[in-house]
Amino acid sequence: MRSLTISRKKSFVGCLGVLKVMIADPAGDVDINGVKTRKLGTVKNGATETFEIGEEESAVYIIADAASKSYCVEMHQLPAGTGGVVLSGKVTFNPALGNPFEFDEAPEETVEYRRAHRKKGYALLPVFILVGVVIGVAVFAIAMSVVNSIIKNRVPEPAYFSREGLVITLDDRFEADEELDIINSDRVGVTVTRENFSLQAGFGDLTLSEYREAVAGVTDRPVTRGSTDGGVLYLRYTGMVNDVEWVYYAFEYKGTECFWIVQFFFPAEYENELREEVFGWAEAVTADAGNLLHAAYSAFALPQTNSIASA
């Protein structure tokens, strides 16, 4: 037998989540993209855990949960040997994929594995991808064109979605996907991340600007910093998915017990058309007084400081 040590670097992103460490095993009971695996254990934010594994060639997988294991997953090949294996990494800022864990200095086979499987998560998000990229059926495309024409000629009604102690006011073109924990329309996706002050001493003392810089520091892409006319801070970045460029706006908020990130994402070709509407949605975010888990917050419009205080 030999040891496998996994070090998870401390990160503000996804810090509440406990990651599951899996290893390939033909007798395992968890299937990850066609490979049978079994659970070795878990690793918390900022923790280092050591597990006992065999000396044969294998592979280790890091997942968040069963629902997202096919795309929010990191894989590392383990060559045969008797010496201990030490790996490290951190959770990356990508709410569209569930903020996946990534190993440091990942070898090529790990990078290829990401490319092959993480796009599954993106493909599940907006209906736009399913229609324009995956389905590609002419009759369906014509039908969708007719439906979209009808939709464009009516005024959308407000619709309210509760996520992580917030209420997001959108419209009835959106619907919630509870399995993926994402809010979708035909072109825009929305996710919410909550980071409690109790995660570490002094976390709640950060200003919103300081928190935004902390988030930017764990993002592996170039970011643009900005704010809406109403003073809501955001980070903007882009990424390629299935040869389509996507734009991500991550808006930051602060409450009495936590920070939130509300992220909107959509194809870059619609940015000029959607930007002001997205900014309006971001400025309409309120606290959810009806959520018993977060009853300390009162439901009222955010002031220009993005700060939500208790009643």
pLDDT value of residue 249: 93
- pLDDT in the model for residue 12: 57
- Write down the pLDDT at residue 86: 95
pLDDT of residue 14: 58
Q: What is the pLDDT of residue 64?
A: 83
Dist CA 99 CA 120 (whole Å): 14
Q: Which amino acid is at 178?
A: E
Q: What percent of the residues of the chain are helix, what percent strand, and what percent coil, each to the nearest 5? A: 25, 40, 35
- E strand spans, the chain: 2-8, 19-24, 30-32, 35-43, 48-53, 58-63, 73-78, 85-91, 101-103, 158-163, 166-171, 175-177, 182-184, 189-196, 224-227, 233-241, 244-254, 258-267, 286-287
Which contacts (CB < 8 Å, 24+ apart) does range 218-223 have? 218/11, 218/12, 218/13, 218/90, 218/91, 218/92, 218/93, 219/92, 219/93, 220/92, 220/93, 220/102
pLDDT of residue 68: 74
pLDDT of residue 138: 30
Could you tell me where the DSSP H helices lie in 1-137?
108-124, 127-129
Cα distance between residue 168 and residue 125, in whole Å: 18
Burial-class residue 139 by CB neighbours within 10 Å (0-12, 13-18, 19+).
Answer: exposed
Asked whether 170 and 264 are in contact (CB, 8 A), the reply is no
pLDDT per residue, tens digit, the chain (311 aa), is 999 999 998 765 555 568 999 999 999 999 999 999 999 999 988 899 999 999 999 999 999 877 678 888 899 999 999 999 999 998 886 665 667 899 998 899 998 898 887 654 444 333 323 333 322 333 333 344 444 544 455 678 888 888 777 888 898 888 887 655 678 888 898 888 888 888 677 888 888 898 888 888 766 678 899 999 989 999 998 877 667 788 989 999 888 888 888 889 889 999 999 999 999 999 988 875 433 222 222 222 333 334 443 32
pTM of the model: 0.53
pLDDT of residue 67: 67
What's residue 8's pLDDT? 92
Name all domains of the chain by residue range, CATH numbers in brackets. 2-124 (2.60.40), 155-294 (2.60.120.1690)
